[in-house]
Amino acid sequence: MRSSNSLSILTAIFVFTLLCVSAAKADTPCFTLASLKGTYAVTGYYEGGIAIAYGVRQLDGEGNLTGTYILNEPVAGSTTGARTVITGTQKGSITTLNCNGTGVFTRVLTSSTGVVTTQMDDFVIVHAYARNGQLHATAIRDAQKTPSVLVTPGVLVTREWTRLPSAEEGTE
């Protein structure tokens, strides 16, 4: 009789645990395209500190991206450490977004030097807040999948994004 009661208690604990885990997962919202909406200040870091970029990107909450950038880079072949500044625009989309906030951006960059290139970036949302059951990304990190075609020699580029406050959403 004692083993029957122990088995019943263990079964009850197991079922209760499963229900609690399922309920906890159901309460955890996923990131969606609507999570990625707003204007972000972006800083791009080039491997070895060889160059740095600053920009502004807009995400529309429907998967579209636009932006501008300023890139301070070395003059190719300079023996004196000369530097140059180029500017450019970009347009693209979120091609993959997972529930956990990881995904891929695909962008077409057009630089003031005439270079036009398509780039893909792996990203992760590193900070967000929830409002009315919806997550809103406030900080993103990304890494370009291929070496930069704008900076010679081509090096890895990583970026930090910080969402700027908007009048319609407050300063969260």
The confidence score (pLDDT) of residue 108 equals 98
pLDDT at 153: 83
Low-confidence ranges of the chain (pLDDT < 70): 1-27, 167-172
71, 115: one domain: yes
Q: How many domains does the chain have?
A: 2
> Do 135 and 156 share a domain, yes or no?
yes
**CA-to-CA dists, residue 146 to 53, 58, 92, 132, 149, angstroms:** 17, 23, 16, 38, 9
**Shared domain check, 106 and 87:** yes
- Shared-domain flag, residues 101 and 143: yes
Query: Does residue 172 lie within any of the structural domains?
Result: no
Q: Whole-structure pTM over 0.95, yes or no?
A: no
Residue 131 lies inside a defined structural domain of this protein:
yes
Q: Looking up tokens 């159901």, which residue turns up?
A: 26
pLDDT tens readout for residues 141-170: 999 999 999 998 889 999 999 999 986 665
On whether both 38 and 113 belong to a single domain, the answer is: yes
Q: Is 171 within a domain?
A: no
CATH of residue 53: 2.40.128
Residues 51, 81, single domain; the answer is yes
Residue 170: inside a domain: no
Same domain, 38 and 12: no
Range of the domain at 54: 33-163
Tell me if 38 sits within 8 A of 67, measured CB to CB. no
pLDDT in the model for residue 9: 47
The two three-digit tokens of residue 53, written as one number: 């970029």
Does residue 169 lie within any of the structural domains? no
Looking at the structure, tell me whether residues 134 and 156 fall in a common domain.
yes
